[in-house]
A and B are shown apart, each in its own frame.
Chain A
């Protein structure tokens, strides 16, 4: 679960430091992690333990 906040923090720091592409990429990765964890919560079939 911590991974979503870690990705979000990397995105926020990148944006603050002026790196738009890195910020947008990590924001997208944050959303992807949320989606993946939601699917994991509903199915319990993904091989992850975040």
Chain B
């Protein structure tokens, strides 16, 4: 397999893993009823921004600018995740939300962002990593599906955030979907 093709496939894998992390976050929100806090939403947005770098690579070919965007996004996400880790670092603090394998989701998010940066460093170190600068002609079914899933997840996050926070600032410790509660109270008011 040519090195450039391998790099394209690894970019698709990275976008797939980011989509998987976003699906897991949604599962946590919808199945376990844990509403994401503002910092959690920012970490999701940073994951999406990092994914945009890989999406650019898949659509237009491998370019340094695309990797640069993904690294910037991962750095911003790591800063947000570290901010949340430090908010809950005091002894006795239970942290926000539940733990997964002994670590909170924001700690996993921090490791994921560091992993993205390390992954890009490895991708850039592969021989011929910048050879395939032309847009890939055939992306394959897997890549197409991953791209569609990624876009659907962005739409889902936008809708979910609007329902949770509306057009204003999100509460620090959200307990309900503000727009759904607002619509419900409006309907109840009309019924009276």
Contacts and interface: CB of A to CB of B under 8 A. Distances in A.
Q: Do A and B come from one complex?
A: yes
B45 interface: yes
Interface string B38-61: 110110011011001101100110
Contacts of A9: 151, 154-155, 158
B124 interface: no
B151 A5 contact: no
B76 interface: yes
B169 interface: yes
B169 A50 contact: yes
A15 B60 CA distance: 8
B75 to A, nearest CB: 9
Interface in B6-58: 38-39, 41-42, 45-46, 48-49, 52-53, 55-56
Contact of B60 (A11, A20, A49): A20
Contact of A31 (B76, B155, B168): B76
B154 A38 contact: no
B56 A15 contact: yes
Q: Label chain B's interface by main secondary structure.
A: helix
Contacts of A38: 42, 76, 79-80, 83
Interface of B: 38-39, 41-42, 45-46, 48-49, 52-53, 55-56, 59-60, 65-66, 69, 72-73, 76-77, 79-80, 83, 147, 150-151, 154-155, 157-158, 161-162, 165, 167-170
B161 A31 contact: no
Contacts of B147: 16
Contact of B45 (A8, A16, A41, A42): A8
A49 B167 CA distance: 8
